[in-house]
Protein backbone atom coordinates (compact mmCIF):
# COMPACT_ATOMS: atom_id res chain seq x y z
CA UNK A 1 0.00 0.00 0.00
CA UNK A 2 1.35 3.41 -0.95
CA UNK A 3 1.55 6.11 1.67
CA UNK A 4 -0.30 8.92 -0.10
CA UNK A 5 0.26 11.37 2.74
CA UNK A 6 4.02 11.36 2.05
CA UNK A 7 3.28 12.82 -1.37
CA UNK A 8 1.18 15.55 0.23
CA UNK A 9 4.09 16.67 2.42
CA UNK A 10 6.09 17.60 -0.70
CA UNK A 11 5.22 19.91 -3.56
CA UNK A 12 1.43 20.17 -3.07
CA UNK A 13 1.75 21.36 0.52
CA UNK A 14 4.56 23.69 -0.51
CA UNK A 15 2.34 25.30 -3.16
CA UNK A 16 -0.48 25.70 -0.64
CA UNK A 17 1.93 27.25 1.87
CA UNK A 18 3.28 29.74 -0.68
CA UNK A 19 -0.27 30.68 -1.73
CA UNK A 20 -1.25 31.17 1.92
CA UNK A 21 1.81 33.32 2.56
CA UNK A 22 1.02 35.56 -0.42
CA UNK A 23 -2.66 35.76 0.53
CA UNK A 24 -1.84 36.50 4.16
CA UNK A 25 0.65 39.20 3.23
CA UNK A 26 -1.59 41.09 0.84
CA UNK A 27 -4.80 40.67 2.86
CA UNK A 28 -3.15 41.53 6.20
CA UNK A 29 -4.00 38.20 7.84
CA UNK A 30 -1.19 36.95 10.09
CA UNK A 31 -2.85 33.57 10.75
CA UNK A 32 -2.39 32.65 7.10
CA UNK A 33 1.34 33.24 7.50
CA UNK A 34 1.47 31.20 10.71
CA UNK A 35 -0.33 28.35 8.93
CA UNK A 36 2.06 28.64 5.98
CA UNK A 37 5.02 28.41 8.38
CA UNK A 38 3.64 25.21 9.88
CA UNK A 39 2.89 23.73 6.45
CA UNK A 40 6.33 24.55 5.07
CA UNK A 41 8.12 23.00 8.06
CA UNK A 42 8.33 19.38 6.72
CA UNK A 43 9.83 20.53 3.42
CA UNK A 44 12.26 22.78 5.27
CA UNK A 45 13.36 19.98 7.57
CA UNK A 46 13.86 17.70 4.56
CA UNK A 47 16.02 20.32 2.86
CA UNK A 48 17.91 21.03 6.07
CA UNK A 49 19.17 17.45 5.97
CA UNK A 50 21.11 18.24 2.79
CA UNK A 51 24.51 19.88 3.09
CA UNK A 52 23.75 22.55 0.48
CA UNK A 53 20.63 23.92 2.18
CA UNK A 54 21.49 23.09 5.80
CA UNK A 55 20.81 26.52 7.29
CA UNK A 56 18.95 28.30 4.51
CA UNK A 57 15.99 25.93 4.60
CA UNK A 58 15.42 26.43 8.31
CA UNK A 59 15.10 30.18 7.79
CA UNK A 60 11.93 29.79 5.68
CA UNK A 61 9.47 28.92 8.51
CA UNK A 62 11.15 31.47 10.76
CA UNK A 63 10.79 34.18 8.11
CA UNK A 64 7.09 33.37 7.68
CA UNK A 65 6.51 33.53 11.44
CA UNK A 66 8.29 36.88 11.63
CA UNK A 67 6.27 38.14 8.67
CA UNK A 68 3.09 37.21 10.55
CA UNK A 69 4.29 39.19 13.55
CA UNK A 70 5.13 42.14 11.30
CA UNK A 71 1.62 42.11 9.83
CA UNK A 72 0.16 41.93 13.33
CA UNK A 73 2.06 45.15 14.13
CA UNK A 74 1.00 46.79 10.82
CA UNK A 75 4.47 46.71 9.25
CA UNK A 76 3.42 45.50 5.83
CA UNK A 77 6.65 46.40 4.04
CA UNK A 78 8.70 44.37 6.50
CA UNK A 79 6.36 41.41 6.01
CA UNK A 80 6.81 41.61 2.23
CA UNK A 81 10.59 41.69 2.68
CA UNK A 82 10.35 38.55 4.85
CA UNK A 83 8.00 36.60 2.54
CA UNK A 84 9.64 37.46 -0.79
CA UNK A 85 12.92 35.52 -0.22
CA UNK A 86 10.97 32.43 0.84
CA UNK A 87 8.85 32.54 -2.31
CA UNK A 88 11.90 33.18 -4.50
CA UNK A 89 13.92 30.37 -2.87
CA UNK A 90 11.23 27.71 -3.33
CA UNK A 91 10.44 28.97 -6.84
CA UNK A 92 14.14 28.62 -7.72
CA UNK A 93 14.18 25.13 -6.22
CA UNK A 94 11.11 24.12 -8.26
CA UNK A 95 12.75 25.44 -11.41
CA UNK A 96 15.90 23.39 -10.70
CA UNK A 97 13.85 20.23 -10.13
CA UNK A 98 11.81 20.75 -13.29
CA UNK A 99 14.93 21.32 -15.40
CA UNK A 100 16.63 18.16 -14.12
CA UNK A 101 17.43 15.79 -16.96
CA UNK A 102 15.17 12.76 -16.94
CA UNK A 103 12.73 14.27 -14.44
CA UNK A 104 9.78 12.95 -16.45
CA UNK A 105 10.79 9.27 -15.99
CA UNK A 106 11.03 8.50 -12.28
CA UNK A 107 10.13 4.88 -11.90
CA UNK A 108 13.21 2.79 -11.11
CA UNK A 109 15.28 4.16 -8.23
CA UNK A 110 17.92 6.75 -7.38
CA UNK A 111 21.24 7.43 -9.12
CA UNK A 112 23.82 10.19 -9.20
CA UNK A 113 24.45 11.87 -12.55
CA UNK A 114 26.94 14.71 -12.60
CA UNK A 115 26.35 15.56 -8.97
CA UNK A 116 22.55 15.69 -9.36
CA UNK A 117 20.36 13.06 -7.77
CA UNK A 118 18.05 11.65 -10.42
CA UNK A 119 15.95 8.56 -10.85
CA UNK A 120 17.28 5.43 -12.52
CA UNK A 121 19.30 2.46 -11.30
CA UNK A 122 21.77 3.06 -8.48
CA UNK A 123 25.10 1.31 -8.87
CA UNK A 124 27.69 2.25 -6.23
CA UNK A 125 30.53 0.63 -8.16
CA UNK A 126 29.85 2.96 -11.12
CA UNK A 127 30.20 6.00 -8.86
CA UNK A 128 33.45 4.68 -7.40
CA UNK A 129 34.77 3.94 -10.90
CA UNK A 130 33.94 7.49 -12.00
CA UNK A 131 35.81 8.92 -9.01
CA UNK A 132 38.84 6.73 -9.72
CA UNK A 133 38.75 7.73 -13.40
CA UNK A 134 38.60 11.41 -12.54
CA UNK A 135 41.57 11.08 -10.18
CA UNK A 136 43.51 9.05 -12.74
CA UNK A 137 43.07 11.57 -15.54
CA UNK A 138 43.55 14.71 -13.51
CA UNK A 139 46.74 16.55 -14.40
CA UNK A 140 49.31 16.52 -11.68
CA UNK A 141 51.48 19.56 -11.15
CA UNK A 142 55.01 18.93 -12.25
CA UNK A 143 57.76 19.40 -9.77
CA UNK A 144 60.43 21.75 -10.91
CA UNK A 145 63.88 20.26 -11.09
CA UNK A 146 66.47 22.08 -9.07
CA UNK A 147 68.91 24.09 -11.13
CA UNK A 148 72.41 22.57 -10.96
CA UNK A 149 75.17 24.99 -11.70
CA UNK A 150 78.51 23.55 -12.63
CA UNK A 151 81.56 25.24 -11.12
CA UNK A 152 83.63 27.25 -13.65
26 lies in the same domain as 74? yes
8 lies in the same domain as 82? yes
pLDDT at 47: 87
Residue 33 belongs to a domain: yes
Those residues whose C-beta lies under 8 Å from the C-beta of residue 13, and which sit 6 or more positions away, are 39, 40, 42, 43
Q: Which residue has the higher pLDDT, 8 or 129?
A: 8
Among 23-32, 98-107, 136-145, whose mean pLDDT is lowest?
136-145
68 lies in the same domain as 115? no
pLDDT at 56: 84
54 lies in the same domain as 105? no
Residue 111 has pLDDT above 70, yes or no: no
Domain, as residue range, for 111: 100-137
69 lies in the same domain as 114? no
- How many domains does the chain divide into? 2
Residue 147 belongs to a domain: no
Residue 142 belongs to a domain: no
Cα–Cα distance for residue pair 135/138, rounded to 1 Å: 5
Q: Are 48 and 70 in contact (CB under 8 A)?
A: no
Residue 119 has pLDDT above 50, yes or no: no
Among 26-30, 54-58, 96-100, 131-135, whose mean pLDDT is lowest?
131-135
pLDDT at 11: 84
132 lies in the same domain as 87? no
pLDDT at 54: 80
Q: Which long-range contacts (CB under 8 A, 24 or more apart) does 20-24 make?
A: 21/64, 21/67, 21/83, 21/86, 21/87, 22/83, 22/87, 24/67, 24/68, 24/71
Cα 7–chain centre separation: 17
24 lies in the same domain as 90? yes
116 lies in the same domain as 81? no
24 lies in the same domain as 93? yes
Torsion of CA 91, 93, 96, 97, to 10 degrees: -110
DSSP H stretches of helix in the chain: 4-8, 11-26, 30-48, 56-72, 76-98, 124-137
Amino acid sequence: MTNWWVFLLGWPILLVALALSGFGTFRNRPWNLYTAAILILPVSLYLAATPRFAFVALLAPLALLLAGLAIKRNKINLAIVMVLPVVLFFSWLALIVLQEPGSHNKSQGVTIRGGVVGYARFRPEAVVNQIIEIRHHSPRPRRKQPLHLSPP
